[in-house]
């Protein structure tokens, strides 16, 4: 089903025509609600046969999810399907997509939009642009810029997706978390590691039991050949391979001391020289 054309002229129509169009869209939306697909069924309708861990995520109701996954394992794809299912089958949903840059956010948004484009008998598009998709059931998918100063103002968020989360600034993460305070919406962090630092590493290692944690290394993905991985390790070296394909939080090559050495050097058994 092709996308509806941009509705830049729709809002300029006389009020009677706008009300008539909206009424017709609402009728179609009500009809669509009668066929509510599960998230797994939606994925299959979009041509995706999910892996077992992806099926588990699709049926999960966990409010906080961290996906620590190697590249090309399907983390962005499955997160896009989670977002689309929310927008299509829960009227009035607000789905926000955040990345280190607006361009990266648009890549995740494009997956959502492309999957929507494969479906039939779903709420129609009311408004669509490079940054926002609004459906007739009142749901919206919105791309956020990668700057803390420009993301405030959203509330009642249903799903907040933070893509490439290990590279998102801590200040940006702290600015968007309050958007979920009242709505009790879902937060999904997905990324490959980027050192033993930042909120992504902290939430994975110290975030407590409220998080659903999923780790998928490259050798766990049936679509990535073992021979290719062996050649890639030889090409990029162990440090990069450990981070990008084995999902390990490794220290920077420029670090003088490793995190493990620093942690091992810390002890509570030595008394301070001066009273605190």
The domains of the chain are located at 10-218
Quote the tokens at residue 182: 């009242």
The 3-state DSSP class for residue 154 equals coil
Of 198, 204, 205, whose CA–CA distance to 100 is shortest?
Answer: 198
Report whether CATH 3.30.70.270 matches the domain 10-218.
Answer: no
Mean of per-residue pLDDT scores for the chain: 86
Quote the tokens at residue 90: 């829960």
Each residue's pLDDT tens digit, 134-188 = 999 999 999 988 777 778 888 899 999 999 999 999 999 999 999 999 999 999 9
* CB-based contact 81:43 (threshold 8 Å): yes
Of 189, 179, 196, whose CA–CA distance to 257 is shortest?
Answer: 196
Each residue's pLDDT tens digit, 146-161 = 777 778 888 899 999 9
How distant, in Å, are the alpha carbons of 61, 76, 95, 103, 113 from that of 129? 30, 21, 15, 14, 10
In the chain, what is the greatest distance between 2 CA atoms, to the nearest angstrom?
Answer: 81
How distant, in Å, are the alpha carbons of 27, 30, 58, 85 from that of 33? 10, 5, 19, 12
CA separation for the pair 163, 149 (Å, rounded): 18
Q: Is 261 exposed, middle or buried (0-12, 13-18, 19+ CB in 10 A)?
A: exposed
Quote the tokens at residue 64: 């906080």
Please tell me the pTM assigned to this model.
Answer: 0.80
């Amino acid at each position: 089903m092709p996308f509806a054309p941009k509705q830049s002229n729709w809002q300029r129509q006389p009020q009677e025509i706008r009300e008539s169009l909206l009424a017709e869209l609402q009728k179609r939306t009500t009809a669509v609600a009668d066929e509510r697909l599960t998230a797994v069924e939606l994925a299959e309708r979009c041509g995706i046969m999910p892996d077992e861990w992806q099926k588990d995520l699709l049926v999960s109701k966990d409010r906080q999810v961290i996906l620590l996954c190697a590249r090309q394992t399907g983390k962005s794809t499955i997160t896009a399907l989670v977002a689309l299912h929310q927008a299509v089958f829960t009227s009035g949903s607000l789905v926000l997509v955040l990345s280190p840059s607006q361009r990266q956010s648009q890549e995740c948004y494009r997956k959502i939009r492309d999957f929507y484009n494969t479906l039939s008998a779903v709420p129609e598009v009311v408004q669509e642009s490079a940054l926002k998709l609004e459906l007739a059931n009142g749901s919206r998918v919105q791309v956020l810029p990668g700057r803390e100063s420009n993301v405030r103002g959203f509330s009642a968020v249903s799903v907040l997706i933070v893509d490439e989360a290990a590279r998102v600034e801590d200040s940006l993460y702290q600015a968007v978390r309050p958007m979920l305070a009242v709505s009790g919406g879902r937060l999904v962090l997905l990324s490959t590691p980027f050192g033993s630092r930042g909120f992504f590493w902290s939430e994975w290692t110290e975030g407590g039991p409220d998080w659903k944690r999923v780790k998928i290394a490259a050798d766990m993905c049936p679509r990535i050949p073992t021979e290719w991985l062996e050649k890639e390790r030889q090409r990029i070296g162990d440090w990069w391979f450990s981070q990008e394909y084995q999902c390990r939080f490794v220290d920077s090559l420029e670090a003088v001391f490793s995190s493990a050495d620093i942690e091992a050097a810390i002890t509570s058994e030595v008394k301070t020289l001066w009273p605190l």
